[in-house]
Each structure stands twice: as structure tokens, then as C-alpha cells.
């Protein structure tokens, strides 16, 4: 299978995206892979597979590699006398802004590029945690209660301590704090507001169980990964999650009942259907007081959650064969012609 992996982007998760791309290079060794790097200036570079190493990007060596532009249906590499089209299916592996906020999806839709990843509407509801809560409310999926804080407004939190403060539009646990008492609040708010002007406050649930489930829709069927129970202390901080993105070895199935597995899958399907077609996503659930609560949606999970699938390469091939196609209306200018004829022009 021919596949182009797009990574990088202008976001706080730029380096995490690089780690994910390097991991997938090894995981998808049997594919015909191309790598396209989007730098922080939104310039696209074609990266030699042999140069897919962290130092290529940290030392700026990628800037000597071929520049690419987007054209109808493909990335294009131009030289003085030739033009090469790179029209593989693109795997959107840009975490955070650009990749998960809908920017790249809109660009690909505009240029009719075939891609694996969330479409614009899916990005809207998964990138901003406020809108994820609104989505849950609309589709009947339970969620952790929350409050919203805006920058430069009076902070009036009614959720009792301890609680979690997190930026509304960031992943990878960046800017997230567990606030145990009032003495820790100002610092937690200062940290979170460095990354976003809107914050989410949620109760810290003692004794909560967390389960991760990934999946995708292809050939008329929902396909699920195994259920994972992440091993962690209070929560996965940035450093632990950063290392987590380089996972490639399959993890073990969580010790959960068939009844709970079915409930997780039912909630996952409610989230996915009619919104995330064309993407492989991961939903992170809490189980608290015997209720399944959606914690968050990962529309482009780290290293595509490859470690949750028994045959990840087959899963990607299956998804690539079932991508949605957006239809453009045919422009005929009939309306303008009829007006011109009526005016005798």
C-alpha cells in the first residue's frame, strides 16, 4: 500500500507528532511510505525515509530537502524542468493545532486530497473539550461534569477540591494540573492559561477506572481495538504521555467483563457514527460508580494507537479502502445565462 504520512504542524504538540511519525515508519515497514513534514511556518518538505530521525528536525536539516506545495489531488514537487505529483493517500498525523483543529482537513477537502483522519466537523467537536461535552449531551453519552473558566474573568469555581484544571483545546496533558487545595489554584491557572484562553475544570474522581478503546468504520462495519486500562498514578503527565507516543508493541487486553466491553463499544459507536468516518480515533472512558463516562476523544491518537490493534497494518489498509468522498456540485452557470438572456445580452 502507498501511503504518505503528514506530520509536524504549528502547535504545542509539534515534537510529539515527529515522535509518532518515526514510530509509524518502523511499524509500517511493509508499506510504500512517503513522509511530508509541515514546519512551524506551514512549509511542506518531502523527507527522505532514511532521514526520519529526531535530529533531522531539531537541527533543521529538513530545510535542505525538497519543497512541496498542494495542488488538485496531491502534493507537488517542482523543479526548474519537471513537476512530480505525490498522490498517495495521506495519513494526517499532525497532533494538536493544524492537524486536529480542522485546518489540514479543510485544506485537503479544498484540494480533493484523499486522506485518513477526522473531517472538519469531527475536528470541531473533538479539538475543543467544551464542544465534546456539548456533543455528549446531544447524543446521549454520559460525561464528567465540568465548569468553564475564561481568561481575565473572575474565577468562581464551585466544584469542590480536589479538581483538575486543563486547557480546553490541548492534548497530551499539556498544561494540566490536579489542584488539591486553594494554595495550588493560582499556579495551576497560570500554567493552563499559558496555553489557552479557555479552561475546563473537572472533579478529580477518586477510585475512577480508565479504559481506552480505538476504532474505525470500514466496509459497512465498526472495527474495534482491544480495550486498554492505562497504568498510571494520578494522571498521565506530559512526560509519560510523550514517551507513550512511541509505543509500537501491542498491549494486553484489559481484564474487563463482556458486559462492560459492550457498553464501551456502544458509547464509542455513538460518538463515531455520522461524524468520524474516514478516521481512526481513540476514546478515553472513565468508569465511575458503575457509569461509563467519556473523558475525551483523540481524533489523531499518538502513533495512531497502533499498539491497541492485533493487525494494525491490515486495519489501515481496510480504512484506506473505505474513505468518504465529498461531492462537489456541478457548476453550469445556468442561472447567469438565464439572467443574461432575459436582459437580451
What pLDDT is attached to residue 92? Answer: 98
Measured at the CA of 15, the angle between CA 8 and CA 117, to 5 degrees, comes to 45
**The CATH number of domain 2-116, selected from 3.40.50.20, 3.40.50.300, 1.10.390.10, 3.30.70.360:** 3.40.50.20
Q: For the chain, give percent helix, strand, coil, nearest 5.
A: 30, 25, 40
Q: For residues 294-301, give the mean pLDDT.
A: 96
**Start-end of CATH 3.30.470.20 domains in the chain:** 124-143+206-320
State the pLDDT confidence band at 112, using cuts at 50, 70 and 90: very high
State the pLDDT confidence band at 233, using cuts at 50, 70 and 90: low
**The CATH number of domain 147-203, selected from 3.20.20.100, 3.30.1490.20, 3.90.79.10, 3.40.50.300:** 3.30.1490.20
What pLDDT is attached to residue 114? Answer: 97
Q: For residues 142-152, give the mean pLDDT.
A: 94
Between 233 and 202, residue with greater pLDDT? 202
pLDDT of 241 above 80: no
Average pLDDT, the chain: 92
Indicate the range of 78-87, 272-281, 311-320 predicted with least confidence.
78-87
Q: What does the block give as the cell for 58? A: 531539531
Q: For residues 4-9, give the mean pLDDT.
A: 98
What pLDDT is attached to residue 319? Answer: 98
**Start-end of CATH 3.40.50.20 domains in the chain:** 2-116
Q: Which residue has the cell 486495519?
A: 315
What pLDDT is attached to residue 326? Answer: 77
Indicate the range of 76-90, 112-126, 236-250 predicted with least confidence.
236-250
- pLDDT tens-digit profile of 254-292? 999 999 999 999 999 999 999 999 999 999 999 999 999
**Start-end of CATH 3.30.1490.20 domains in the chain:** 147-203
What pLDDT is attached to residue 80? Answer: 78
Strands 44-47 and 67-71: antiparallel
| C-alpha to C-alpha distance for 115 and 12, rounded to whole angstroms | 23
State the pLDDT confidence band at 236, using cuts at 50, 70 and 90: very low
Strands 209-218 and 221-224: antiparallel
CATH of domain 124-143+206-320: 3.30.470.20
DSSP calls for 40-105 = TTS-EEEE-GGG-SHHHHHTTGGGGSPEEEEETTEEEEE-SS-EEEE-SEEEE---STTTTSSHHH
| C-alpha to C-alpha distance for 6 and 17, rounded to whole angstroms | 9
pLDDT of 246 above 80: no
pLDDT of 238 above 50: no
Amino acid at each position: 500500500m502507498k501511503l504518505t504520512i503528514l506530520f509536524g504542524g504549528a502547535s504545542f504538540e509539534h515534537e510529539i507528532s515527529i515522535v509518532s511519525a518515526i514510530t509509524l515508519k518502523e511499524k509500517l515497514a511493509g508499506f510504500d511510505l512517503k513522509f511530508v513534514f509541515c514546519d512551524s511556518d506551514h512549509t511542506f518538505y518531502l523527507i527522505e525515509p532514511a532521514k526520519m530521525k529526531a535530529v533531522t528536525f531539531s537541527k533543521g536539516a529538513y530545510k535542505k530537502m525538497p519543497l512541496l506545495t498542494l495542488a488538485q489531488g496531491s502534493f507537488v514537487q517542482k523543479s526548474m524542468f519537471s513537476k512530480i505529483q505525490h498522490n498517495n493517500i495521506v495519513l494526517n498525523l499532525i497532533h494538536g493545532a493544524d492537524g486536529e483543529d480542522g485546518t489540514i482537513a479543510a485544506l485537503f477537502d479544498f484540494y480533493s486530497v484523499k486522506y485518513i483522519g477526522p473531517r472538519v466537523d469531527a475536528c470541531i467537536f473533538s479539538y475543543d473539550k467544551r464542544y465534546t461535552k456539548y456533543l455528549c449531551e446531544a447524543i446521549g453519552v454520559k460525561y464528567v461534569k465540568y465548569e468553564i473558566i475564561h481568561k481575565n474573568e473572575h474565577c468562581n469555581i464551585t466544584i469542590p477540591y480536589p479538581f483538575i484544571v486543563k486547557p480546553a483545546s490541548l492534548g497530551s496533558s499539556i498544561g494540566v494540573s490536579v489542584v488539591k487545595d486553594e494554595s495550588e489554584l493560582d499556579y495551576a491557572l497560570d500554567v493552563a492559561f499559558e496555553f489557552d484562553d479557555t479552561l475546563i475544570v473537572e472533579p478529580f474522581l477518586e477510585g475512577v477506572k480508565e479504559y481506552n478503546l480505538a476504532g474505525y468504520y470500514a466496509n459497512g462495519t465498526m472495527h474495534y481495538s482491544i480495550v486498554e486500562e492505562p497504568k498510571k498514578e494520578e494522571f498521565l503527565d506530559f512526560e509519560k504521555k510523550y514517551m507513550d507516543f512511541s509505543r509500537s508493541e501491542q498491549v494486553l487486553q484489559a481484564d474487563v467483563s463482556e458486559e462492560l466491553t459492550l457498553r464501551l463499544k456502544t458509547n464509542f459507536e455513538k460518538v463515531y457514527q455520522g461524524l468520524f468516518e474516514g478516521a481512526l480515533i481513540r476514546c478515553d472512558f472513565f468508569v465511575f460508580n458503575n457509569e461509563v463516562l467519556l473523558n475525551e476523544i483523540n481524533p489523531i491518537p499518538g502513533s495512531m494507537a497502533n499498539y491497541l490493534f492485533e493487525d494494525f497494518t491490515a486495519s489501515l489498509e481496510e480504512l484506506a479502502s473505505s474513505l468518504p468522498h465529498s461531492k462537489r456540485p456541478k457548476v453550469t452557470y445556468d442561472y447567469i445565462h438565464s439572467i443574461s438572456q432575459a436582459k437580451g445580452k
